[in-house]
Chain A
């Protein structure tokens, strides 16, 4: 008889902060007290703020502790499980995790309460990712049930369209519109593909959803399938995401057993199956057509467009390719309606956005906030300000393919349209906050090196252009470059942006172009006299 379950957060951040040792300590202590047979211990999802990791969650009470050190783990066993007393001083700070509610943060500007708005993360760290019952107990599969019993596919599509949901993979394409392209196709077989090839450096938002709330993605996919008339879905997951894959596969099995996936879901006559396809290490496979090639067992090189995947996708058939975060938005939209969704975020970009915050700030980790908050708010409030002794110099947004943003743009609302107007990109939602000692040339070099490594080699501007750019940046870094070299670097970057085949090659020069735009003097200072 198992009377309780202990989940130690097992995401990489937690592991690197000693989660394994905590788990070992707990297990040892359970044996010591003779509790090993009645209490099981496993790894679960992490919460999103790194400073509170690793966490230890105890079910069925749902008490969460964090951050927990190995000694604390032993103490928790003794106090909570053996003596039955909650260890107050180890409890997770309330602002780190409040399910479905506004979490009040300590620092308010002008008396205003700043808060995370948890729509996508409301279950992450709260539910046991290995338990479908837990998911269902937290409104899980309600949206699917509602859609299948009371809505037509067109109605589902219209809700998503009216919600104004935009693709969260980086480009911000209207999701409902993409679905309608596929829905209008006459082919009998269509596919829903979930792009879980999260590879933008500094981005770990999808991973948090996949590992903390895998059923949300499955439910979103099933809803998409219902809306467009697809009966098969595929999740293309990064090869490196071993734990995410394991949890997804487990979740799929459970959902099929429960009858919320598979044939004739909930007796509605609608069938939907989901498979997982893991990649093998190639950033380019995040590009949707390269992803499709890879799914078909080929090299991950992008396809010629048009035709787009909505017409000629997986196996040449109409295919919706949506990012994990996009799909996770779908169940709450269907459940609560488009009008509710539009109360979040901005008029042009409704909803919330996940950001992974890193760099020279006090609190790093994942946050979910309404679209349209400013970078300044992220830095000052959510990230707890810059680290002691550092001032903000720039932020690198959107992973490698984003742009370098200077202090002058700190007050731009972060949504797809406003960022685009500034020539910047929201991208994947990674925010690398750099302090004043950051070397911009070096930063650009690192970013371009990444692109050179990850270029698929198909088109000339990317294959040779990244090599040329890296060479020039290296000369600059080493102090060998002359003014003509810098001029040529800028020229190559400009042309490569115009001429490359796909988004990777078009993004590769952006660190140089945006670096030059805002920090030209730093490049010039490196020139040889």
Chain B
């Protein structure tokens, strides 16, 4: 299983350090899209930590996902600077275009729509990240373009 080897590599990188729990979970989530219960059980066992602690930590941080995400993940900044710059309209456009509310994944598994806190690109707000790319100065039209371009249409 490729996920398994990724998990092994990540565990190895941090060398069994319990303090690295947050980093391990984040890296696994980013490598595999999300962290499975089996992953968490393995991490708990290898670090000698209670499973409750691993889950407790995993469910605390927003960059660690415990559920499978879509092929592409949109993280829309919902903070004040972007909001003031017209974020509400973009928010509504995203929900309408993808046909899902925030926090959800499209039935075909292509898109997951999430919010993020500030990504430090406020002066070009409203901003969203699509996977690892930052897109600023968003307008409804531009959002439609990006969705079409990245997703090959919805």
Q: Nearest Cβ distance between residue B25 and chain A, in whole angstroms?
A: 7
Contacts of A281 in B (CB 8 A): 26, 61-64, 116-117
Does A446 have its Cβ within 8 Å of any Cβ on chain B?
yes
| Dominant secondary structure at the A interface | mixed
Q: Which of A81-89, A201-209, A246-254, A334-342 contacts B (4 or more CB under 8 A)?
A: A201-209
Does B79 have its Cβ within 8 Å of any Cβ on chain A?
yes
Given A201-B118, A204-B122, A358-B125, residue A297 in contact with residue B80 (CB < 8 A)? no
Interface residues of B in 108-126 (CB under 8 A from A): 115-125
Q: In chain A, what residue has the closest Cβ to B75?
A: A240
Given A16-B136, A203-B120, A299-B56, residue A294 in contact with residue B22 (CB < 8 A)? yes
User: Taking each of A280, A298, A432, which has the highest tally of chain B beta carbons within 10 Å of its own beta carbon?
Assistant: A280
Does A50 have its Cβ within 8 Å of any Cβ on chain B?
yes
Does B81 have its Cβ within 8 Å of any Cβ on chain A?
yes
Does B9 have its Cβ within 8 Å of any Cβ on chain A?
no
The number of residue pairs between A and B whose CB atoms lie closer than 8 Å in the complex comes to: 152
Contact-residue bracket for chain A: 35 or more
Q: Nearest Cβ distance between residue A511 and chain B, in whole angstroms?
A: 8
Does A412 have its Cβ within 8 Å of any Cβ on chain B?
no
Contacts of A201 in B (CB 8 A): 77, 79-81, 117-118, 122
Does B84 have its Cβ within 8 Å of any Cβ on chain A?
yes
Contact present for A12 and B134 (CB under 8 Å): yes
Given A294-B22, A295-B19, A450-B117, residue A202 in contact with residue B80 (CB < 8 A)? yes
Q: Nearest Cβ distance between residue A443 and chain B, in whole angstroms?
A: 6
CA distance A293 to B120 in the complex (A): 24
CA distance A12 to B125 in the complex (A): 11
Given A280-B22, A443-B84, residue A299 in contact with residue B60 (CB < 8 A)? yes
Contact present for A438 and B84 (CB under 8 Å): yes
CA distance A432 to B135 in the complex (A): 20
Contacts of A12 in B (CB 8 A): 119-121, 124, 127, 134, 136
Binary contact track A39-53/B, C-beta < 8 Å → 1, others 0: 000000000001000
Contacts of B120 in A (CB 8 A): 12, 198, 203-204, 207, 240-241
Q: Nearest Cβ distance between residue B134 and chain A, in whole angstroms?
A: 4
CA distance A364 to B78 in the complex (A): 19
Q: In chain B, what residue has the closest Cβ to A244?
A: B120
Contacts of A449 in B (CB 8 A): 78
CB-defined A-B contacts under 8 Å, sample of 19: A12-B134, A13-B123, A15-B133, A16-B124, A201-B81, A202-B118, A203-B118, A207-B120, A240-B116, A242-B132, A280-B25, A280-B26, A280-B61, A281-B116, A282-B60, A297-B18, A298-B22, A396-B80, A446-B80
